[in-house]
Amino acid sequence: MSVRELTHFIGGKHVAGTSGRFGDVFEPSTGEVQARVPLATKAEIEAAIVNAEEAQKEWGSWNPQKRVRVLMRFVQLVQDNMDELAALLSSEHGKTIPDARGDVQRGLEVIEVCLGAAHMLKGEFTDSAGTGIDVYSMRQPLGVVAGITPFNFPAMIPLWKAGPALASGNAFVLKPSERDPSVPLRLAELFLEAGLPAGVFNVVNGDKESVDVLLEDPRIKAVGFVGSTPIAQYIYETAAKNGKRAQCFGGAKNHAIIMPDADMDQVADALVGAAYGAAGERCMALSVAVPVGEETADRLVAKLTERIADLRVGPGTDEKADFGPLVTADARDRVHGYIAKGVEEGAELVVDGRDFVLAGHENGFFSGPTLFDKVTPGMSIYLEEIFGPVLTVVRAADYEEALRLPTEHEYGNGVAIFTRDGDTARDFTRRVEVGMVGVNVPIPVPIAYYTFGGWKASGFGDLNQHGPDAFRFYTKTKTVTQRFPSGVKEGDIEGAHVADTDHFVIPTMD
């Protein structure tokens, strides 16, 4: 396999890296290196910021409708190039082609919501707040903002970040994951082709050194991040220390509560897809099943075991595969380490995925589906995010115990309950301490015109991703109180004195 040399995308052009430092981009199904990605220097990051700062002056001056027309053309270009983007994404991440298409499509859905930017950016107006005085507000762009995005959704999350930022009139600097950077680079090309001015959207590849430059440079006004909780907390604290807005989302341990009255076939089908899809490399994967009662648990484990036996693991190009390999050998080894730890801690290993080998792809980063039963809340495989195709079953004696598990867990990203009882579902959605809740929905990701965000150690910051929160995050509000004094004729500016309290009155409520 010939190894591609990747670039940065700065000022509307592909720019070769100059640091001499590179990261390997693998083909997860074979284990081969398919590309080398340059890790940026401080000077390269600063060049992207300079280009963004200059380009934002023009872009920010455009009216919202004009900016939206660029996004409309971008949506069409992405749709026209969907096959190429999905294949490229699959080749670097390992997820199946259908899953890769979904990755791109979910990103586009946020861009489509951003086509309503003119409405989202409207301010407020109060007529006659005081005698002859009107008050109004306006939303203005921050300037240059940055996104630091993870490997598991190399199209969706960059678009979640960039879409509202661009629609609001900001310029954007993206630091994607160095594990699968080709799709973000291709998206940059499509933005340019759609009519986005050069420099408004830049891509710089790098590692922590690059991240720290973005966090410390005063020209970057806001930072959005998705990744692990320790890094999310670091970015949030460092950004705040440097006077930036920050919107940082971390790890998860999403529970599914299964009540005795649930349709067990529906539950088993939902759990298999939600736990093992994309090899479990999703922050919204359901990784903990909580059946209520021993009978419910026995029925659930039996049905899960049957369905797991029928799962097909294959390369991303296998259209019939249920999921593909993990993104790197390190990721696979980390998952296998957790499985070993679960056995050591006393969990019952029902299905072991560590020995899975795909003929013809023996060097790929594959792990088969794993199922644990009789996991307890003190075990590492319950407390920590595994980020792989591992489902754990924690048996609860009653509803109240089942409710406590996600409520008391460190993470609070997503949770689901499976029941036919409306009272139980309503009680659960109101009381559970988790940011996103599904009722008979296994992956409770809100549609794009609502906001996405977890609680507790899953999220840092006051505003969530996409939906109205995103436009609030990427804009600053200016409020104007105005009065045009009567008796001052046009051109008679000398007659209006700041000290003249008859002309300049602070509005009151009476």
Residue with tokens 């009653």: 398
What span, in angstroms and rounded, lies between the C-alpha atoms of 356 and 348? 19
Helix locations, 81-180, DSSP H:
82-93, 97-114, 117-120, 156-167
248 is catalytic: no
Give me 303's structure tokens: 């049905």
Q: Could you say which of 283, 381, 394, 396 is catalytic? A: 283
Check residue 447 and report its DSSP letter. Answer: P
Return the SS3 of 287: strand
**3-class secondary structure per residue, 410-426:** CEECEEEEECCCHHHHH
Give me 183's structure tokens: 């799709």
In terms of Cα–Cα distance, which of 377, 419, 348, 401 is closest to 288?
377
Strand partners, 392: 288, 372
Torsion, Cα 277 281 283 284, to 10 degrees, reads: 10
Identity of residue 508: T
Return the SS3 of 226: strand
**3-class secondary structure per residue, 80-93:** HCHHHHHHHHHHHH
The strand pair at 171-175 and 201-203 is best described as: parallel
Give me 161's structure tokens: 């970040």
Strand partners, 373: 348
Angle at 333 between CA 22 and CA 321, to 5 degrees: 95
Strand partners, 174: 147, 203
Q: Catalytic positions, please?
A: 283
